[in-house]
C-alpha cells in the first residue's frame, strides 16, 4: 500500500467529528437517582480517533430471521398480541445528512399494558403470551428501516414513588464505526408523560428532546389495519480527508 491512500476510498474513511457532549445527558443527573452511584466523577478523556474507533462491526442480512422486524408476529404462539397495531419507520443518517446503510437497529419494549417480558419485571400488569417485545433489522442502502409492533404502555418505576415512564421503545444502533455506537429511546407524539419524566429530563435541550419523539405519520397509516409513526435518527459523521495522507502510523 502506498503512503498516499487512493483518494476516493479514503475520503469516506476519515475520523468522526467530535461528539457534542452538551447535546447529550450528563453522566450525573441526580433526579434520575440510579445515575448518582453509576456516573464517573472524573472528566472523560478525549482521544484522537485511531483505526480502533474509525472501524466497527459489520453485520450480514443472513444473520437475521424473516420475522425479526415484526414484533406482532415474531413471538405469536396461539394468536395475535393485544394492543394498538403500529408501524414505525424512518431514516438513519449521519450528521452531514448522508444515509447510514447496513446499520444494525435493535429495538425492545414493554407490551400494551406496560409489562416487560423480563425475569426482573414484577409489575402487576400481565404478560401477553403472544408478545415478546424485541426486534431488529438492517437499514437499506438509503438508511431506511421499518418494523411493526404493538404500541407499548406507560409503566411505573421506583425513582420517586409515583414516577411513570412515558410510552417508549428502546433503540440500539451499530452504525459504520465504533464511535457511532448509540443507545436511546423513542417517545410518541402528544404523550403528556414526556414532560414529567426524569429520564427524558436528563437531556439538556428542548430540541434534543424533540428529536426523540416519533411523529404521527397518518399519510402512511394502513387503513383498517395499523397506524404509522415516523422516527429518524442521526449518528455522528465522518469528516472528509481531501488533504491528509494517512496519519503517520496508519501506514503500518
Residues of span 79-108 touching other proteins by CB under 8 A: 93, 95-97, 106-108
Q: Does position 133 bind other proteins by CB under 8 A?
A: yes
What are the contacts of 116-119 at 24+ separation with CB within 8 A? 116/155
> What does 81-132 look like in DSSP terms, one character per residue?
PPS-EEEEEEEEEETTS-B-TT-EEEEE---TTS--SSTT---SSPPPTT--
The catalytically annotated residue of 28, 116, 123, 144 is: 116
> Which helix (H) or strand (E) element contains residue 52?
helix 51-54
Q: Does position 61 bind other proteins by CB under 8 A?
A: no
Output the smallest distance, CB 114 to other proteins, in A. 12
Q: Which of 4, 7, 30, 38 binds other proteins (CB under 8 A)?
A: 38
Q: Please give the Cα distance from 119 to 138 (Å, whole number).
A: 28
- The CA-CA-CA angle for residues 158, 159, 164, to 5°, reads 75
Q: How many residues bind other proteins (CB under 8 A)?
A: 96
Nearer to other proteins, 116 or 144 (CB): 116
Site for other proteins in 146-175 (CB under 8 A): 170, 172
Output the smallest distance, CB 192 to other proteins, in A. 19
Longest dimension (CA), the chain: 64
Output the smallest distance, CB 223 to other proteins, in A. 30
Does residue 235 contact residue 100 with C-beta atoms inside 8 Å? Answer: yes
Output the smallest distance, CB 184 to other proteins, in A. 5
Please state, as a whole number, how many other Cβ atoms lie within 10 Å of the Cβ of residue 223: 5
Quick one: which segment of 11-19, 76-84, 145-153, 219-227 binds other proteins (CB under 8 A)?
11-19
Q: Which of 11, 31, 35, 201 binds other proteins (CB under 8 A)?
A: 35
Q: Does position 72 bind other proteins by CB under 8 A?
A: no
Nearer to other proteins, 154 or 211 (CB): 211
Amino acid at each position: 500500500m502506498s503512503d498516499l491512500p487512493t483518494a476516493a476510498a479514503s475520503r469516506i474513511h476519515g475520523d468522526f467529528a467530535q461528539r457534542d457532549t452538551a447535546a447529550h445527558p450528563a453522566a450525573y443527573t441526580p433526579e434520575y437517582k440510579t445515575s448518582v452511584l453509576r456516573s464517573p466523577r472524573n472528566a472523560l478523556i478525549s482521544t484522537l480517533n485511531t483505526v480502533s474507533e474509525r472501524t466497527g462491526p459489520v453485520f450480514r442480512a443472513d444473520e437475521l430471521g424473516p420475522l425479526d422486524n415484526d414484533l406482532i408476529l415474531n413471538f405469536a404462539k396461539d394468536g395475535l398480541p393485544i394492543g394498538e397495531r403500529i408501524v414505525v419507520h424512518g431514516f438513519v443518517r449521519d450528521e452531514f445528512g448522508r444515509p447510514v446503510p447496513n446499520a444494525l437497529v435493535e429495538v425492545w419494549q414493554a407490551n400494551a399494558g406496560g409489562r416487560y417480558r423480563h425475569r426482573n419485571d414484577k409489575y402487576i400488569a400481565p404478560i401477553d403470551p403472544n408478545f415478546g417485545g424485541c426486534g431488529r433489522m438492517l437499514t437499506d442502502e438509503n438508511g431506511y428501516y421499518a418494523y411493526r409492533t404493538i404500541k407499548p404502555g406507560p409503566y411505573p418505576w421506583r425513582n420517586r414513588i409515583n414516577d411513570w415512564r412515558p410510552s417508549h421503545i428502546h433503540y440500539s444502533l451499530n452504525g459504520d464505526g465504533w464511535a457511532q455506537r448509540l443507545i436511546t429511546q423513542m417517545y410518541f407524539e402528544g404523550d403528556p408523560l414526556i414532560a414529567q419524566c426524569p429520564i427524558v429530563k436528563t437531556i439538556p435541550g428542548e430540541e434534543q428532546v424533540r428529536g426523540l419523539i416519533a411523529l404521527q405519520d397518518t399519510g402512511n397509516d394502513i387503513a383498517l389495519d395499523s397506524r404509522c409513526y415516523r422516527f429518524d435518527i442521526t449518528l455522528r459523521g465522518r469528516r472528509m480527508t481531501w488533504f491528509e495522507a494517512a496519519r503517520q502510523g496508519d501506514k503500518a
